[in-house]
A and B are shown apart, each in its own frame.
Chain A
Amino acid sequence: MTEVAAFAELYAAHYRQVRGLCRQLLGSTERAEDAAQESFVRAFRAQASRDPAQPFIAWIMRIARNHCLDLLRRRSRERALFGDEEVETVAAEAPGADGLGKALSTERAAEVNAAVAKLPERYRVPLALAYFGDQDYDEIAASLGITRNHVGVLLCRAKQMLRQALVDVNDHATLRVVGGRDLEEETP
């Protein structure tokens, strides 16, 4: 019983983060809840094999990530999922990266989240791993079985699409002015 109680504490402390990763990766709250539960159940079963030197959060996040990627792979083949690097690169070379802008941060968090959820899987997954899972490009490349550069291209494209989506959603003028002015002032 103590074993369960001890684990339940870890669970309570880290559930949100795990569920968050699952939601970002799977793009659905409902499936994220199931995936988070399943990840904790797997962790519970595999407790004996855990390296005590490793922080619990890193371990459970890895289990959740692997589980979600398994789920995604099961639904569609990996290569098809992440597309062709060359083709992606051409698409990502569109000019003009003004960023989402600092002003967007908190008040637009919900809009950003909604836009992320709407991204196609191939862009959402690396984005979630990078900015929610805090993984570096090499780790993402290894998890997804693609090259480091491909990760860069997918992330760049993901951010382009996000900007576009947010421009569509929001007041066009504000964004353009914020982004445009910065560039115009400093462009020689």
Chain B
Amino acid sequence: MTCPSEVTHSMYADGALSSRDAMLLERHAATCAACRARIEALRDESEVLRTALRHAEDLAPIPRFVPPPSARDFVVLIASVVLISGFSRAFWSTLAAAIPTELKWLNPFESGVLFDRATDIVKFIVFEGPAMWTATLNFIGAALIVAFVAWLAYSAARHRAFPGIAAALLAVVVALPSVGHAFEIRRSENGPVTVAADETINDTLLALGETVSIDGNINGDLLAFGREVTVRGNVTGNVVTGAQSVTIEGTVGGTVLGAGEGVRLENARVGRDFYGWGNGVEIASGANVAGNAMGFGSTVDVDGRVGIDFKGFGKMVNVSGAVERNVDGFGQTVTVDSTARIGGNVTGHVDSAGDLKVADGAVVAGSVNEQVVEREQRRNHYATFGYYFGQVIRLAGLFLTGLALLWLVPILREVSLPNATAVLRSFGIGLAAAVTLPVAALIVCITIVGIPLAILTFVLGAIGLFFSKAVIAQIIGRGVLRNRPTPPHYAATLFVGLVIVIVAINLPWIGGLANLILTLTGFGIIVSLIYAHMNRDATA
């Protein structure tokens, strides 16, 4: 008989062979010294391992046991906050009463101005805080999109291999007639990128900067991305631009594609078409678009002239200038002012009858049609471009900030909600914290010494609520990508989760509830983590 394998020996040494196999091996070993020696060595080895593994633990220090926080602890925490603030208030009022009236001016806390300022700050944070966050979020989101588009354009410029979107962007530029054949790139991290009035560029120009001002001539296309893009000079080709604010005042030989919070054609001459995406899209009174114009935004205004058709998609579509052919307005309200001159038909796709308003003085050569879009479909915002744009910005902002959060606080990448009880508990903690935090902060606020603490509480609460979606999204994303052969990067799980969260909170009817549940559950997780961490630090 040949000697059994090492696995068999090893299992035998550990007493893990079935009795039949063990018997066979023993019979063989009786006649094979090599196998006997091997088994003996493996037995010794197991013993060595047992001893060695235990050995390392004998000197480990034992930290203090920290019992998990109970509901009672939470009540105690709130009660102590209330008590301490009550005491300090009593202390300060007693102190104030003890000071003789003549010396009152010495007491810095007596100053009404100080108190007013402090309450102003708290009020500001309470009422303006969410708006502040939204603004920051929007800015980050817009910056991310601009950066992404800029990167795509940059890749295109470098003729690198890149995926379909970049190819599409390039295709847009290539498909339109272009004059220039080469690229010139100008970029600046913080400062402005300018093309002076006396300067001429005989290439396609890619300009990336905080502010981009084009005053000179560009014999080619212009690709400009930044926070603020202004074109006052002449561009013989097309203009593709993305910025928070886009203003075109000069002459563009080709087509203008502009995306941003505000896109405005002011005294501009556009040789071909104009496409504008943004919160506010405006063709101001001095502007002239020789071809078609299309605007997508919350408000879309045409004060200037459009050479062919105009299509406007937005909450409010307003025409007070000249459109040589047809006007199609898709919006809650479509207005044609008295100064307007329309060469063709006016069609308004509006919410309800009477929302297409054509003023008395307006000249419409063709017919005026009002088409009431089904209220169910129209009233919700799902049909507007601006809405989706907003959601994409929201996603980008949450993704970026969430990524930073997960990068800074790695423990958040690991948190999980294994069962329904955990979800309910986190939701409960989130709800309790969301209710008690402002109350506790307000109570603290009553005492002057508590004001900084109150402000801190508000700020932390606002930050926590803001990040709660990222935390919950990370958990959802991990759940979705659970079955991948390799564990996905937290950026991937965060992104997948955020897409699901954003879709969920935008669902009709139940979106609001979903938002509340997701936010409070995420907030609950954050609060429990902070609480557990503080508790450990305090007692360790």
Contact between chains at A187 and B41 (CB < 8 Å): no
Of the stretches B52-60, B177-185, B385-393, B461-469, the one at the interface is B52-60
Do residues A112 and B10 form an inter-chain contact, with CB atoms below 8 A? no
Q: Is the CB of B33 within 8 A of A186?
A: yes
Q: How many residues of A contact B (CB 8 A)?
A: 69
Given A24-B53, A80-B486, check contact A97 B9 (CB 8 Å): yes
**Structural contact, A110 and B41, CB atoms closer than 8 A:** no
Name the residue among A12, A37, A110 with the largest chain B CB count within 10 angstroms. A37
What residues of chain B lie closer than 8 Å to A106, measured between beta carbons?
A: 51-52, 55
CB distance from B461 to the nearest CB of A (A): 26
**A122 proximal to B (CB < 8 A):** no
A186 & B55 in contact (Cβ 8 Å cutoff):
no
B1-59, CB < 8 A from A: 5-11, 14-16, 33-34, 36-38, 40-42, 44-58
Chain A residues with CB under 8 Å of B414's CB are 71, 74
B191 within 8 A of A: no
CB closest chain-A residue, reference B8: A152
- A110 and B48 form a contact (CB under 8 A): no
Q: When A16-B60, A136-B16 are in contact, do A92 and B34 touch as well, CB less than 8 Å?
A: no
Whether A104 is near chain B, meaning CB under 8 Å from some CB there, is: yes
In the complex, the answer to whether A131 meets B53 with C-beta atoms within 8 Å is yes
A16-B34 contact, Cβ under 8 Å, with A7-B67, A97-B10: no
Is A4's CB within 8 Å of the partner chain B?
Answer: yes
A186 near B486 with CB under 8 A, answer no
Inter-chain contact B41/A153, CB cutoff 8 Å: no
Per DSSP, chain A at the interface is helix
CB-based A-B contact count at 8 angstroms = 171
Contact with B along A90-118 (1 / 0, CB 8 A): 00111111111110111011101100100
Inter-chain contacts of B14 with A (CB < 8 A):
130, 137, 152, 155
**A112 contacts B7, C-beta separation under 8 Å:** no
Q: Does B160 have its Cβ within 8 Å of any Cβ on chain A?
A: no
Q: Is the CB of B67 within 8 A of A41?
A: yes
Does B100 reach chain A (CB closer than 8 Å)?
no
Q: A60 contacts the other chain (Cβ, under 8 Å)?
A: no
Instruction: Give every chain B residue within 8 A of A172 (Cβ-Cβ).
Output: none
- CA A44 to CA B56, docked complex, whole Å: 26
Q: Say whether A45 contacts B37, CB under 8 Å.
A: no
Q: Is the CB of B16 within 8 A of A101?
A: no
Bound-state CA distance A95–B38 (Å) is 11
B478 to chain A, nearest CB (A): 8
A99 touches B45 (CB 8 A): yes
B415 CB to closest chain A CB (Å) equals 10
| Chain A positions within 8 Å of B202 at CB level | none
- The answer to whether B108 has its CB under 8 Å from any CB of chain A is no
A71, A99, A134, A156: residue with the most chain B Cβ atoms closer than 10 Å: A99
CA distance A17 to B66 in the complex (A): 18
| A79: nearest chain-B partner, CB-CB | B485
Residues of A near B478 (CB, < 8 A) are: 74
Q: Is the CB of A110 within 8 A of B56?
A: yes
Are A156 and B485 interface neighbours, CB within 8 A?
no
> Which chain B residues lie closer than 8 Å to A102 at the CB level?
44, 47-48
Residues of B within 8 A of A (CB): 5-11, 14-16, 33-34, 36-38, 40-42, 44-58, 60, 62-68, 414, 416, 478, 482-487, 536
User: Told that A24-B53, A109-B51, A116-B49 touch, could you supply 7 new A-B pairs with CB distance under 8 A?
Assistant: A12-B65, A20-B60, A74-B414, A77-B485, A99-B38, A148-B16, A156-B11
Q: 19 A–B contact pairs at CB < 8 A? A: A12-B65, A16-B62, A41-B67, A45-B68, A77-B482, A97-B42, A99-B40, A100-B48, A102-B47, A112-B48, A132-B50, A134-B50, A151-B16, A152-B10, A159-B10, A160-B6, A186-B37, A187-B34, A187-B37
